[in-house]
Structure 1
Amino acid sequence: MTVEIRRGTSAFVEREPGRLSRHGFSFGPHYDPENLRLGPLVCHDDHLLARGRGFETHRHSGLVIVTYVVSGALDHDGPTGRVTVPAGSLAVLRTGPGVEHAEVAAVAQTRFVQAWLTDDDADDVTPSYEVLDPGTVSVEPLTGMRLEVRRLGDHETTTLPAAPRVHGYVARGALLRFSLAEPLAEGDAFRFVDEPAHEVTAAVPSTLLLWSFA
């Protein structure tokens, strides 16, 4: 059993005009051989964009990319044309063997958290992009992989998933001290391997993004 706490202050930071990105895992020039992945999760980023800024057309292959829009709205151009993803929504891009797409902020102060998952069957997948209803609180983009969006009220308690591997991220708010960590703030993450279920309590209204992997 292992527990790793990753503070937001330790994220790899990338700044460009109109964009601030924080990378939770090794990414591009930010290389850390001890922070490459957690099972199929190879990228976990938090992006803040000015209106009209973001990522122009680029290519991906062999991945499933899951996006949660924290605030603002994100314009996505890809295999289904242009789609606007509003705050509170989940979106799933299946790249298959290869697809081009673009992600640009539709309004100012657009913030989204994005995870990349390796897909061993990508060569047999037709590229697609799906935006789920804003009220959707979970998605299973691949067999044995699940993302839950937990929205907690002030001092509300929730039980974390019990799974072989768990990745948790405080997208908004903060958690009180619990059995495995000091208080966690917005942007902090935790990674569990073979841990039992644990309870956490929100210090203020909070949003948690919880990945579990079989």
Structure 2
Amino acid sequence: MIDVRRSADRFRGGDPASGIESLHAFSFGRHYDPDNLRFGAILACNEERLEPGAGFDEHPHSHTEIVTWVVEGELTHRDSAGHATVVGPGDVQRLSSAGGVRHVERNDGDAPLVFVQMWLEPLSPGGDPSYEIVRGIADSTPYALPEAGAMLHVRRLTPGERTAVPDAAAVYVHVVRGEVRLGDAELGPGDSVRIVDAEGLELAAGVGLAEVLMWEQSNPPGV
């Protein structure tokens, strides 16, 4: 099963008056769609745009694996466990909220900030919060998230380049930038694909550079 979701169909949230624009791929906040609550372990895939000086004040999370990918700009992160970092393009940031943690996310820079944040449900709730940042993750180097039974693949494709979609029970594809083709589907920035029982599939970049995030999941949706 291949289910293409377009960027234009995302739910718009955030607070534009405060310099925050959010685009949600799944039910989020006041927007509730009982048929679009999750895909496997993935609970949220939010595109966030913060103007300089804008941000999310301290707020709590629990029992969620939060993975952030910066598209442009710099994200300032601080949490109640004592971590304080600046996350840039090419860095993978993971916050395991576990039994509970509070954090702040801001654009303290002079340029607009764009990032993609993905929330995954852990296999086992509770425990102690943890934090990790991988600086400048290399292309095709997977980032394992065993806490959620998932693995993140980052692909940066040159024009016309092809890459395999992982063979897995479930794969979630998010196009960060550029254009790619999956079978007969043309995908652009912000488009996503939910694939069940992925096998023998390929992504092909268009005429420009492309950047794609792919979540490989060991369990099928609903398991």
TM-score range, shorter chain: over 0.9
Name the % identity.
Answer: 35
* CA distance in structure 2 between the partners assigned to 1:145 and 1:170 by the alignment: 18
- Deviations 1:121-180, CA, capped at 9 Å, x for gaps: 2312x212211011344211225310111000111111111100000000011113x42x
Q: Does 1:5 align with 2:4?
A: yes
Q: Does 1:62 align with 2:67?
A: no
Q: Helix, strand or coil: the match of 1:183? A: strand
What RMSD in Å do the two structures reach over aligned CA positions?
Answer: 1.3
* Match in the other structure for 2:121: 118
Letter in 1 for 2:154: V
* Match in the other structure for 2:20: 19
- The 8 Å contact of residues 171 and 208 in structure 1, kept in 2 or not, is answered as yes
Q: Give the alignment partner of residue 186 of structure 2, picking from 183, 186, 189.
A: 183
* Match in the other structure for 1:45: 46
Q: Helix, strand or coil: the match of 1:187? A: coil
- The 8 Å contact of residues 163 and 204 in structure 2, kept in 1 or not, is answered as yes
- The 8 Å contact of residues 165 and 198 in structure 2, kept in 1 or not, is answered as no
* Match in the other structure for 1:142: 146
Q: Which range is displaced more, 32-41 or 13-22?
A: 13-22
In the TM superposition, residue 111 of structure 1 has moved relative to its aligned partner by 0.8
* CA distance in structure 2 between the partners assigned to 1:120 and 1:190 by the alignment: 23
Q: Give the alignment partner of residue 212 of structure 2, picking from 198, 208, 214.
A: 208
In the TM superposition, residue 20 of structure 1 has moved relative to its aligned partner by 1.1
Q: Which range is displaced more, 139-148 or 41-50?
A: 139-148
Q: Helix, strand or coil: the match of 1:9? A: helix
TM-score scaled to structure 1, two decimals?
Answer: 0.94
* Match in the other structure for 2:173: 168
Q: Which 4+ runs in 1 deviate beyond 3 A?
A: none
Letter in 2 for 1:201: A
Gap runs ≥5 in structure 2? 219-223
TM-score scaled to structure 2, two decimals?
Answer: 0.90
- The 8 Å contact of residues 50 and 110 in structure 1, kept in 2 or not, is answered as yes
* CA distance in structure 2 between the partners assigned to 1:105 and 1:128 by the alignment: 22
Q: Which range is displaced more, 126-135 or 38-47?
A: 126-135
* Match in the other structure for 1:91: 93
- The 8 Å contact of residues 62 and 120 in structure 1, kept in 2 or not, is answered as no
* Match in the other structure for 1:106: 108
- The 8 Å contact of residues 63 and 97 in structure 2, kept in 1 or not, is answered as yes
In the TM superposition, residue 15 of structure 1 has moved relative to its aligned partner by 4.0
Q: Helix, strand or coil: the match of 2:44? A: strand
CA gap of 1:62–1:54, structure 2 versus 1, over 3 A, is same
Letter in 2 for 1:6: R
In the TM superposition, residue 87 of structure 1 has moved relative to its aligned partner by 1.4
Q: Helix, strand or coil: the match of 2:190? A: coil
* CA distance in structure 2 between the partners assigned to 1:142 and 1:54 by the alignment: 30
Q: Which range is displaced more, 131-140 or 77-86?
A: 131-140
In the TM superposition, residue 198 of structure 1 has moved relative to its aligned partner by 0.6
* Match in the other structure for 1:75: 76
* CA distance in structure 2 between the partners assigned to 1:30 and 1:77 by the alignment: 27
Gap runs ≥5 in structure 1? none
